Amino acid sequence: MKAEGLDVVGFGAGEPDFDTPCYIVKAANEALKKGLTKYTPVSGTIELKNVIAAKLNRDNFVDYSIDEIIVSNGAKHTLHNVFQAILNPGDEVIILKPYWLSYPELVKMAYGVPIFVDTDKEKGFNIVVSAIEKAITPKTKAIIINSPNNPTGAVYPEQTLREMAELATEKGLYIISDEIYEKIIYGDQEHTCVAGLSQDIKNHTITVNGLSKAYAMTGWRIGYAAGPRDVIKTMCNIQSHSTSNPNSIAQYASVAALSMNSDFISKMNTELNKRRLYMVNTVNSIDNLSCSIPCGAFYVMVNIRDIINKKHNGKIIDSSLTFAKELLNAKMVTLVPGEAFGMEGFVRLSYAVAQENIEKGLSRIEDFVGELK
Ligand code: PLP
């Protein structure tokens, strides 16, 4: 529709609408000028792995040596390697609902079985440890945790994460902690690195992170994992025979991103925070829509349960997917239906979108909801 010149407002963005900071681009240019265009070690350059180890120590208070770290082509590729490394056919992986939509597919690609466990949608989508405990079977291999969370923006409290991690450790499970939104966090919220909770927990945890969100580097494709040496070694073997090293220039740029001082993240967060507050207030001012305030990432889960089964121009809105389709047809606004995240009755709006488009798009949503009968 955009290609046809139509004025579509998109709330689907899963990436910051900011440019990669100049100091990172400059480091990439310098790497090109120096001709650093050859293969690197499969698991990443020693320089980058050292910088990642220093970051984990500085920001997350957890020590890793470089043979416990692997750099891959984005955090999604990192997760793919994790599941390929740890799962045997039929192994179960606990995934909290709503979930980032690639988790179940990544598990299935490794012949694993996703087991879904609800979070508490009335309490900001927080983890319910007793529900996780009930879902554990002799086939459970791992639990995947994502805080700050996509799609809910939830930041799980340290105490809840500790209880979950102690349970997993006691049962001998892996915890896969996807911390890709670590730096996008608001107010006095604090990020908890699960591996930093205790030595025992660290031994069971594979921390996944990357450069995509914090440094507006989605296209550069750099993600990494830190975890038990044997798991990381298996991931390296898999990567060695599939993609080899991640892009050499992006690795040199990532060294700059993680090691140089910059106010980029705090400036980006200040802007995102303004949009977050605007979006939450506006959504909650629209009759029949509501949302809780996200503490991190850049998404709002909007509750549309009160409009399910209402009609728009005679058409029944019977699901989040119908809502999304009708909204697009009638008002040229895109958003992601909750069923993509395993959460019917909700839709996800991203606020990594320019403020003027947020205002325009929300006013169209308000008109649409006002027209429902
Ligand atoms: N994990 C979560 C929760 C995400 O939302 C995303 C991207 O949207 C990723 C991982 C993948 O990030 P990358 O671009 O580094 O592959």
Percent over 90 (pLDDT), the chain: 97
Sign of CA dihedral 278, 15, 356, 319: negative
Looking up tokens 């119908």 gives 322
Identify the bridge partners of residue 87 per DSSP, sorted by sequence position. none
Could you please report the per-residue DSSP string of 51-73?
A: HHHHHHHHHH-----GGGEEEES
Residue 96 banded pLDDT, cuts 50, 70, 90: very high
Chain centroid to Cα 336, Å, comes to 15
For residues 115-119, average pLDDT = 97
Percent over 70 (pLDDT), the chain: 100
Mutate which of 100, 149, 254 for ligand 1? The one with the most ligand atoms within 8 Å of its CB, which is: 100
Ramachandran quadrant class, 56 (left: phi over 0; alpha: psi -120 to 50; beta: rest): alpha
Mutate which of 125, 183, 212 for ligand 1? The one with the most ligand atoms within 8 Å of its CB, which is: 212
Residue 13: the pLDDT is 86
* Residue located nearest, by CA, to atom 8 of ligand 1: 14
Alpha carbons 119 and 185: distance in angstroms, whole number: 20
Alpha carbons 104 and 341: distance in angstroms, whole number: 10
| Cβ contact 249:31 at 8 Å | yes
Residue 275 in this model has a pLDDT that exceeds 90 = yes
Alpha carbons 202 and 193: distance in angstroms, whole number: 10
Alpha carbons 246 and 263: distance in angstroms, whole number: 27
**SS3 state at 293:** coil
Residue 121 in this model has a pLDDT that exceeds 90 = no
For residues 124-142, average pLDDT = 97
Looking up tokens 């409290």 gives 157
Entry pTM: 0.97
CB-neighbour burial class of residue 288 (10 A; exposed 0-12, middle 13-18, buried 19+): middle
Residue 193: the pLDDT is 98
For residues 358-365, average pLDDT = 98
Q: 75 CA distance to ligand 1 centroid (A)?
A: 6
Please give the number of the atom of ligand 1 that sits closest to the Cα of 211.
Answer: 15
| Cβ contact 92:108 at 8 Å | no
Residue 78: the pLDDT is 98
Q: Can you give the length of the chain in residues?
A: 373
Alpha carbons 218 and 228: distance in angstroms, whole number: 27
Residue 122: the pLDDT is 85
Q: Tens of pLDDT along 65-88?
A: 999 999 999 999 999 999 999 999
Q: Tens of pLDDT along 295-313?
A: 999 999 999 999 999 999 9
Token reading at 131:
């529900």
CB-neighbour burial class of residue 33 (10 A; exposed 0-12, middle 13-18, buried 19+): exposed
Does residue 75 line the site of ligand 1, with CB under 6 A? yes
Q: Tens of pLDDT along 143-202?
A: 999 999 999 999 999 999 999 999 999 999 999 999 999 999 999 899 999 999 999 999
Please give the number of the atom of ligand 1 that sits closest to the Cα of 77.
Answer: 16
| Cβ contact 209:195 at 8 Å | no
Residue 125 banded pLDDT, cuts 50, 70, 90: very high
Q: 326 CA distance to ligand 1 centroid (A)?
A: 28
DSSP letter assigned to residue 95: E
Residue 120: the pLDDT is 94
Does residue 212 line the site of ligand 1, with CB under 6 A? yes
Q: Which helix (H) or strand (E) holds 281?
A: helix 264-285
Please give the number of the atom of ligand 1 that sits closest to the Cα of 210.
Answer: 15
* Residue located nearest, by CA, to atom 12 of ligand 1: 75
Identify the bridge partners of residue 208 per DSSP, sorted by sequence position. 178, 225
Alpha carbons 68 and 228: distance in angstroms, whole number: 6
Does residue 74 line the site of ligand 1, with CB under 6 A? yes
| Cβ contact 153:295 at 8 Å | yes
Q: 76 CA distance to ligand 1 centroid (A)?
A: 6
Does residue 103 line the site of ligand 1, with CB under 6 A? no
Mutate which of 82, 97, 99, 102 for ligand 1? The one with the most ligand atoms within 8 Å of its CB, which is: 102
For residues 264-288, average pLDDT = 97
Residue 352 banded pLDDT, cuts 50, 70, 90: very high
Residue 103 banded pLDDT, cuts 50, 70, 90: very high
Alpha carbons 364 and 367: distance in angstroms, whole number: 5
Does residue 153 line the site of ligand 1, with CB under 6 A? no
Residue 59 in this model has a pLDDT that exceeds 90 = yes
Alpha carbons 180 and 184: distance in angstroms, whole number: 9
Looking up tokens 């992601």 gives 336
Mutate which of 103, 156, 213 for ligand 1? The one with the most ligand atoms within 8 Å of its CB, which is: 213
**SS3 state at 158:** helix
Residue type, 327: L
Residue 346 in this model has a pLDDT that exceeds 90 = yes
Residue 123 in this model has a pLDDT that exceeds 90 = no
Q: 77 CA distance to ligand 1 centroid (A)?
A: 9
| Cβ contact 145:129 at 8 Å | no
Report cis status (omega within 30 of 0) of the bond before 294.
no
Query: 355-370 and 320-331 helices cross at what angle (nearest 10)?
Result: 110
Please give the number of the atom of ligand 1 that sits closest to the Cα of 223.
Answer: 15
Does residue 180 line the site of ligand 1, with CB under 6 A? yes
Q: 168 CA distance to ligand 1 centroid (A)?
A: 23
- Whole-angstrom Cα Rg for the chain: 21
